[in-house]
């Protein structure tokens, strides 16, 4: 009987040491950040910041595939109004697929030297006052919603 208990004790001891050495939840040593890099270098932003000086043109895209170029003054106004949009934490932190209709406004921000896929796309939904920019969701500011909609409505598909 002692022989069996001794073997059982050895097996339990070996199994316990294997499990603790392969523990995936054990704390990892923190690697110090390289000199000159701070936490402020994170690309994600809680604000929409459109640097109009770096954009060659803004174009409104329609469902039919037609496009309409937005004037420079309106680009600046649109950039200023969208900078007041609030980050939508619920949509951005959840992996929920939201069923919604196509955006009322789709704007492509063209930059020289970038392909169509590399350029930034801005989509605005009237139904819930949301906008999507650089794959992040934002709420339009309540006092700016109608101004943004009116500005973009100036660029209708059939108008000159």
Contact assessment for residue 69 and residue 59, using Cβ atoms and an 8 Å cutoff: yes
Confidence band, pLDDT 50/70/90 cuts, at residue 147: very high
Look at domain 52-153 and name its CATH class: alpha beta
19-60 tens-digit pLDDT: 777 655 555 554 555 554 444 444 445 778 777 777 888 888
Q: How confident is the model at residue 1 (pLDDT cuts 50, 70, 90)?
A: confident
Q: What are phi and psi of 105, to 5 degrees?
A: -130, 130
CA 34 to chain centre: 26
């Amino acid at each position: 009987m002692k022989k069996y208990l001794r073997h059982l004790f050895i097996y339990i001891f070996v199994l316990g040491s294997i499990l603790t050495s392969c523990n995936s939840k054990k704390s990892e040593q923190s690697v110090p950040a390289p000199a000159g890099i701070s936490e402020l270098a994170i690309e994600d932003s809680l604000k929409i910041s459109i640097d109009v000086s770096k954009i060659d043109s803004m174009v409104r895209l329609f469902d039919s595939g037609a496009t309409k170029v937005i004037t420079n003054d309106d680009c600046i106004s649109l950039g200023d109004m969208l900078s007041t949009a609030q980050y939508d934490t619920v949509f951005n932190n959840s992996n929920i697929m939201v069923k919604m209709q196509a955006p009322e406004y789709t704007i492509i921000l063209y930059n020289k030297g970038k392909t169509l896929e590399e350029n930034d796309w801005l989509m605005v939904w009237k139904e819930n006052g949301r906008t999507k920019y650089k794959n992040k969701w934002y709420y339009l500011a309540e006092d700016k919603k109608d101004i943004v909609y009116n500005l973009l409505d100036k660029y209708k598909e059939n108008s000159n």
